[in-house]
Amino acid sequence: MRYITELHAHSAECSECAEVAADRLALKYIRCGYDTLVLTNHFKQYEVERCGSFEKSVNTLFEAAKKAADFAGDRLNVIPAVEVTLNRPWNDYLIYGVTREFLMEDDGIFDYSLEKLYARTSEAGMLLVEAHPMRFGSSPMKPKYVDGYEIFNGSNPNNELALSWWEKYRDTAPIYTSGTDLHRLDQCPNAGILTGEPIRTNEDLIRVLRSGDYGVYCDYGSVK
């Protein structure tokens, strides 16, 4: 497996905690030898308030991904995704395959129950993965309403616990992911997935994650 895909990264345009503009982020991943960057900017109540409107917040997510893609050209595939934060419980979830139209449908998404969010993403053919489930302050969710778990997060501890949690529930929530959770320019990308084919589109990403035909790029090596 020779292609490397980052599944968790943030840019400054729409993640206040991030310091790197989308074009500079793309350059960093090009220089680090990645083939694909899945840009998972934050999408939560506070970010909407900071942007000034729900519509502007959604548009900024996709504009940042386009900025990275335009800069990268054919040197790096850039795919938009999102890390949504629900208000109760206050947990983070990565939505892969997300579209602008999907997010625009309901400005009350942050007050969804996890059950409702999962019903919507499943109906739309997207994948819902709990981000850093063992990070301090997070609450690992039972697998009934997620497709899987981030088993390695390069910016947070307790990854061994996250891996153990996924292994316990892998029959119900089979998707496992790995991401750097990059926010700063001085961070070195240290995670992702390894595939035998390039991931160029959302459709490629969903198909590969559902297939399980990939390895994890992280301290664990390949997880099956």
pLDDT, tens digit (0-9, with 9 covering 90-100), for 27-74: 999 999 999 999 999 999 988 988 889 999 999 999 999 999 999 999
CATH class of 3-217: alpha beta
3-state secondary structure (DSSP) of residue 159:
helix
State yes or no: cis peptide before 89, omega within 30 of 0. Answer: yes
3-state helix, strand, coil in the chain (%, to 5): 35, 20, 40
| Whole-structure pTM value | 0.95
Residue found by looking up tokens 């208000």 in the block:
87
Alpha helices in the chain (DSSP H): 22-31, 45-51, 54-72, 100-104, 114-123, 159-169, 202-211
Cβ atoms of 177 and 129 closer than 8 Å: yes
164-213: pLDDT as tens digits? 999 999 999 999 999 999 999 899 999 999 999 999 999 999 999 999 99
Q: What are the angstrom distances between the C-alpha of 157 and each of 40, 151, 154, 181?
A: 19, 11, 8, 12
* Torsions phi, psi for 111 (to 5 deg): -95, 5
3 - beta bridge partners?
Answer: 195
Of all helices (H) and strands (E), which one includes residue 223? Answer: none
Q: Residue 1 — pLDDT band, cuts 50, 70, 90?
A: low
Tokens at residue 190, please? Answer: 């240290």
